[in-house]
Structure 1
Amino acid sequence: MEQSKKAKLKKVFSKKTLYSIIIVLVILAGSVGYYFYSKSINYFTTDNAKVTAKMYPITPVTSGKILEWNVSAGDLVKKDEVLGRQEVLPYITSPIDGTVVKSDAIKNQTVAATNQLAVVADTANMYIGVNVEETDIMKIKVGQQTEVEIDAYPGKTFKGKVTDIDDTTQTYFSASATSLTTSGTYTKVTQLIPIKITIDNNEKLPMTLGMNAVVSIKLR
């Protein structure tokens, strides 16, 4: 008899434990589901985002031979620092304090006024460049708060905000903006509109141009 009572109590206890576990799992699943539903309603999230900066192309003022070129990619330069010298208009200078991210000039090379000699990036003011599909762009407003995760810093979230929305699509000034096939048929392509997100990097963590990021923009 005593063993039968113990067996019954054990069975009742096991059922209660099982029910408790099921209830906890249901609550947990509901909470997770609500979290993702709430996030989908209140946030716009995309991984089409990278660390970038404003770029300044360096071109000669006029055609002529390059007599001297003093910088390479990766060099830090100051505003008005001499980058090189031409035979006609002597000095080619940097428009900003920044980093030379591209250098194509070669000493004794003859260049036209349209040739790009180098690119200087404003690396002191790097930001997150995000490409938003035109079908979503009306959700985005300057001043919206953001959360940014950068692949180089897993587990860390950077707070920020939307500071600029471009007036043109990414391909507006390029040949790829044309969507006509060889037969003359128009093919609609969803366009991307660049936006700028400035983040708080209070720890001064090093950033490299082109680092991948995931951005969540708070809509409400």
Structure 2
Amino acid sequence: MNTASAAPLTRIQRRNRKLILEAALEVFSQHGFRGATLDQIAAEAGLSKPNLLYYFDNKEAIHRSLLGDLLDSWLAPLRAIDPDGEPRAEILAYVRRKIQMSRDFPRESRLFANEILQGAPRIEGFIRTELRALVAEKAAVIRGWAQAGRIADVDPMHLIFSIWALTQNYADFEAQMRMVRGPHSDPFDGAEDYLETLFSRLLAV
């Protein structure tokens, strides 16, 4: 269905579209784009495949819609770093926001990770423009703090990459952590305190 030129969606149509996207998030986060099928998404949504195709032309359209909804929120924690704030507090707050996103949105994190593992074919433009520009902007802020002696002399981009790796790991590899720690454990238990201590020591002057 071409929503750009169609009449406003009815309540049932809005509900079905939400069902499809929720089901697709579950399927894509488990199987990646290549492993997911329209039949799996339709079954997860409790809809017929023809009904699903009324709302989205193909698997690519569903995946693109999910990624489009995700990308802006994915940048929000990094955007929130305040150049006028206290440097260590700003960076640790970023760490906390990222670990909270991994806790609250694990499927979205795995959706993003799967796309990156495939070479980011559907979001390469976003990464090369919006994400690259934002990282460069915040790296310059962190570099300025380091040069002013307000935090340790760290490579700002590697610092950001490390925060991504150490926080998103809890969502992307949650199954492994549960297996190691025990089936009834919470992989996030103690994670925020540990990472805050780790980065506090790294940034200490």
TM-score range, shorter chain: under 0.3
Higher helix content, 1 or 2: 2
When the two structures are superposed, what TM-score results if normalisation uses the length of structure 2? Answer: 0.24
Which structure is larger by alpha-carbon Rg, 1 or 2?
A: 1
Is the strand fraction higher in 1 or 2?
Answer: 1
